[in-house]
Chains A and B, each alone.
Chain A
Amino acid sequence: MGNEMKDLEKVKEIGIRVQHLVPDSLPKSGLKRMQYYVSFDDSPNIFHLGLSKGEPVRFEVIQSMVRNGVLVELTSSFLLPFDMDVWLSSEGEIVIASAVAPFSDNNRRVVARPRQFDRIYVEVEEQMARTPRPQIDRFTKVPQK
C-alpha cells in the first residue's frame, strides 16, 4: 500500500499534511526553504520527503528520527496548499508561502513559532562551530614493529 506514485491530479484533490520538519540553522535575514515530510489524508501512516517521488517512509521510522533529533515534530499538523512551500524566517518562525515568490505572497502565514528546543538547536550549532569538533577514533592501532 502506498508504494505507487501519487499522480498530480490526485494530489491536488486530497489534502497534504505536514507535521515533521528537518531542523535547520536560522537564516540571517529573509526566508530559508525547509525540508519536510508530508503525508496524504488517504494514507496518514505513509510519509514522503517533500513531494518527492522517492521511497515512502513508515511512521515508525519518522518517530525514531524525531527521537534522534533528526526531525522536529510540530504539536499539530497543518494543511499545505499544493502551490505553497514551507519556509523558515530569521526569527525561527515557520511560514507557509508561495513556493515561487514567498515575499510577494499575500497568503503568507506563520504556522508555527519557535519553541525552546529550536533555540537550543541553534545554540548547539553555534557552539560546535566555535570550537573544533572532536575527532573520535573508534579504533586504535596495534603497534607494528
Chain B
Amino acid sequence: MKDLPYGDIFYELLGKIHAALAYCHLRYSKNETLSEDDQGINEIFESFSKISPYRISGLNSHIVKGLTLGDAKRQEQNLYPRLSKLVIYTYLQAQSSKRDKKYKAEIIPSPLNILYHALTVPNEPQSAAYAYVLCRSMLFFFLQLHPKLSGSNSINATYSEFQEEDILRSMNSLGNYSRQFARWPDKRQGHEKDAARLNYLLGHILALKGFFYLWFSANDQLINFCNVNESNLQSDLYARYRNELKESEKYHFRLSGGFHDMPDSSEVLNWIFGIPIPIRGADLLFSGGLKRSSNSGLVVSMHGQPGTGKTSVALALASVLSPFNTQTIYITLEESPEDLRTRLNTLTPSYLKRLSIYENNYNAISRKANDKYSLSWFHPYEFRGVKSLNDLERVLQLVSNKIEGAVSNKSPEEKGENLLPAICPLLLVVDNINGLLSNRDIGANSYYDIEQFVKGCRDIGAIVLLISAEGIPERYNLDYLVDVALCLKQEGIESKYEKPVRILQLTKSRHQLSRQGSHVFHISNDKGLRISPQVPSQLDKREKLRIQLPSKKMVVNALNFHSRDGESIYYNFLNVAENSQILIHGYGSSGKAGFGLKLLMTPIFESRHFPKSMSGKSIKKYPIGNRRVNKVMILSFLYPDEYYQGLYDRIVAQFDKMFDGYDRAKAIMVVKSFYPGYLTPEDFVNKIVRMLEEARLEGEPFTGILIDGLHNVFLQFRYLQDFHMIWPLLYNMLSRYSLTVVSTSTNFTLNQGVSAGDAVGNAKGGVLPEDLLLMQQGQRPFLHGLVKAADYFFLLDEESSETGDKRYMISVRSSIRQAPPTDRLRWDRSELVIIAEEKGGESQ
C-alpha cells in the first residue's frame, strides 16, 4: 500500500501555508509592506522539518528552493524561498481584487491553491497533475466523499458516493451566485448534509484551481481559520476543510479577481472524475483529465505509420503515470523486453527523475541494492505466438486473471487504515495489433470479433492502450469501437529542406469534453514527451481569464525622464499606463530595442508620485521606496542574448544613479531568442505562455514583454508568416496576464520606386509586382500589432542634420487617456536616453 504523491509532506506543508497566510494578513492589515526578504515569513518555512531529507539528497528542489541558505547568504545571493514568494504573491493578488477600501469582508486565496502551486515544478507545469491528485484525494478524505465506484471495488462505508449529476446540480446553484460576486454557498442551500458537503467539495476544487477565494465575514474568522495547532495538525485541518466550525466561524467562496467566469461544467467534471495526465499539453488536450467509462475501464487506440512514435508515447505515458502507483503491463508482439526497458529510461523526463515521487532505483530515497536495472512498476512481456485477435484476447484475460490473484483485495475496513481507491492502478499496453487485423480473412463475423475483443479489454477495468498501424481496412477500424482514438503523423519527411513535425490527432473521446484536432508533439531529448496544442485551443483555455486593462493608477515614466548634460530631469510629457500594449515603429536601426527595453525597465510608480509641479526638476537619488520587481521577457527574432545584456547594463546603471535604494536584483531580464527556420506557431505560443506561467509558479511573474522585431518574421520564419493569425491570438492572450507589452517593427523599402510602383503590374524602379506582394505580406504582423496592440503608438524617425549627423526623433501617434503630444523627443540611441530639448524643461 503506497502513499499518495507527496503524501509525506502534505499536512506539515499545508499547516505552514496556513501560518504564512495568517502572518501576511496581520502585516497587510496593519498597512505594512510585504516582501520576500521578510524574515518572519521565511522563518515559518525554515522550520519545515519533513523536507530535510530532500535538502540532503537534492530531490524535490522546487520545494526546497531558497530554504537551504542562511539569512545572510540569502540577501547576498538574492535567492529567497520560493514558498514565501508564492504565498506573498498569491495573497497580494487576492487583496488587489477587493474593489475598494470599503469592502469590509476579508478574502484570502485558498491555502490548497498555494500548496498546489508549491508542489508544481515551475518549469514543468504538467507536474501539477501530481499535486492536484494529492489535493483532490485529500479533499475526498476531508469531506468523506468519493465518486461512485463500480464492480468489486469498495470504499470505506463512512464515505458517501456521488455521481456526475450531483456535481452538475451543485454547479447550477453556483452559477447564479458567482456572477454577482456573491458568496457561495449560502445558508439556504444544502439542507441535506451530503449536498452541503458536495458544495464545499466543489468550492474547494475551484478554489484550488484559482477560480475562487475564501470569503470571511470578519478578520477574527480568517485568523481562526489560518491558525492551526502544530501538534494537532490532522484534526485541525480536517475540521477546517470540512467546514465543521461554529456557525459564526464558517467561511464561503467568492469568485476570484483573475477570472471573469466559472469554468465549463464539463471541464469541472473532468477535474473531479478524471485522471490528470502529467504530460505537457495533455491537460489542454483532455480538458483537465481523462475520464473512464462507468466500469472504470478505458480503451484507447493509437495508430500511425512506422516511426511516428507510437511506442515512445506509450512508454512515456507509463513513466509519467508511475507516481500515481500505476503499474504498467506492456505486452509486446515484436520487441524484446530488454529493449523496452532501455527505451523507457531515455523517455522518462529528467525532471521526474529528480522528484521523490518517482520510484527509480537510482533515486536516493528508494534505492534497492539488488535489482538495479528493473523498475518495480514496469512489466514487459513478449508474446510471439499470438496469431489472431482471439489469441490476444485470451492472453489479456489470462494476464489479468493472473494479476487478480496478486491484487490486495482486502476492503478498507479490514485493513484498518484510511484508504482511498488508487487513481489508476493498471495501464495495459498492447504493442501492436497490426498483423492481427490486416491478415484476417474477411468474414461475416470479423467485425463482431473485434467488437468482442474491445469489450473484453474494457472489462479488465484498466486503461488499455491498443497500438496499431495505419492501413487497416476501413471496416476493421478500431476507432469506431474504442473510447479514445489517437492518430500520430509525421509531416515534412518527404522534403529534405523541411524539418519534420510530429502531429498528434485526437479524433475521438467518448466520455468527455476534449480538444480534438491536430496538435504538434515532440519526443526527442530529456524533456520527455510534450505536446504543443493547436493555437486556438491554447487561447480557448485562457478564455475565462479576465482581460487586464491598462492601469489607471500605475504609470511608466520612461518618456518623462529626460537627460540634460548627463543629468536627469523630470518633464511631464506622456504618462504610459502599466499593462498597456505599445507599438514602436521606425525605419532602420534607430534603437527601437533599447527604447522598448527602457520603457519596460523603468521603475513603475503610482501617478501621484510625480505631480505636474515636479516638471523641470532634477532627479538625483530620488527615494524609490519598496518598489515592485520589473521582470521583462524579451522575444528576439534577431539578436542573441548578449546584445540585450549590453543594453540592460547601461539602462540599469542609469537608474542606479537616478534613484536611491535602487536594487539591481529587482530588475530581471529573460531573453528568449528564436533562430530562423521552421518554428511552428503552436510551439511559439506554447513557449511564451509556458514562460509566463513558469514565472507565476516561481512566485515572480513577468511585468513586461518585449517582442523585438516583428518584421523579422518576414521570410525567415516560414510557418509564422503563413499563419499570420498568430499575432492577434498572441496579443489577446498576453492581455490576460498583467503585462506591459512592447512590440517593435521596421518597414522595408527596396528603393525609391516601391511606393510609386503601380498596382497593375508595371515595374517601376526595378521592382516587380511579385516583390510588392511579398512586401505586403511582410507587413502583416505589423498591421496586426497596429490593430490589436497599439494603446500607444510611437514612431522613431531618422533625421539627418546639415552636418551629416543622424538624429532619431520619437513622435507619439496615438495614446490612450491623453491626447498625443505634438512635440517630438530626441532619442539618443547610443546613450539610451531622451535628450531634453532647449525649449523644453523649465519653461513648461
Contacts and interface: CB of A to CB of B under 8 A. Distances in A.
Interface of A: 67-70, 116-117, 119-121, 123-124, 127-128, 131-145
A135 B394 contact: no
B10 interface: yes
B233 A142 contact: no
A137 B425 contact: yes
Given A137-B2, A138-B408, 11 more contacts: A124-B399, A134-B377, A134-B426, A136-B406, A136-B425, A138-B153, A139-B421, A140-B4, A140-B420, A142-B418, A143-B4
A143 B381 contact: no
Interface of B: 1-4, 7-8, 10-11, 137-138, 141, 153, 233-234, 325, 327, 329, 337, 377, 379-383, 385-388, 390-391, 394-395, 397-399, 401-403, 405-409, 412, 415, 417-423, 425-426, 456
A135 B2 CA distance: 11
B382 A141 contact: no
B158 to A, nearest CB: 12
Given A140-B419, A142-B419, A143-B4, A124 B383 contact: yes
* Interface majority SS (helix, strand, loop, mixed), chain B: mixed
B383 A123 contact: yes
A123 B137 CA distance: 39
Nearest to B1: A141
Contact of A143 (B10, B386, B398, B456): B10
Contacts of B390: 117
Contacts of B377: 134
Contacts of B415: 139
In the A-B complex, the 6 residue pairs with the smallest Cβ-Cβ separation, listed nearest first, are: A143-B7, A69-B397, A142-B418, A139-B419, A145-B234, A134-B327
A143 B8 contact: yes
A145 B2 CA distance: 15
A136 B385 contact: no
B63 to A, nearest CB: 16
15 contacts: A69-B401, A117-B391, A124-B381, A127-B381, A127-B383, A131-B381, A136-B426, A138-B408, A139-B419, A140-B137, A141-B417, A141-B419, A142-B7, A142-B418, A143-B138
Contact of B4 (A67, A128, A142): A142
A123 B394 CA distance: 12
A137 B383 CA distance: 25
A80 B419 CA distance: 51
A133 B402 CA distance: 8
A80 B286 CA distance: 57
Nearest to A117: B394
A115 to B, nearest CB: 10
Contacts of A68: 397, 401
Given A117-B391, A127-B382, A140-B420, A145 B426 contact: no
Contact of A120 (B8, B386, B421): B386
B382 A144 contact: no
A136 B327 contact: yes
A136 B408 CA distance: 7
A121 B383 CA distance: 10
Contacts of A132: 379
A74 to B, nearest CB: 15
Contacts of B409: 138
A68 B138 CA distance: 36
A124 B2 contact: no
Contacts of A117: 390-391, 394
A79 B403 CA distance: 35
A118 to B, nearest CB: 10
A135 B233 CA distance: 33
Nearest to A68: B397
Contacts of A138: 153, 407-409, 421-422, 425
Interface centre among A69, A131, A135, A139 (most CB of B within 10 A): A139
Contact of B403 (A131, A136, A144, A145): A136
Interface centre among A131, A133, A143 (most CB of B within 10 A): A143
Interface centre among B3, B325, B327, B398 (most CB of A within 10 A): B398
A67 B398 CA distance: 11
Contact of A136 (B4, B137, B138, B407): B407
B234 A133 contact: no
A105 B456 CA distance: 42
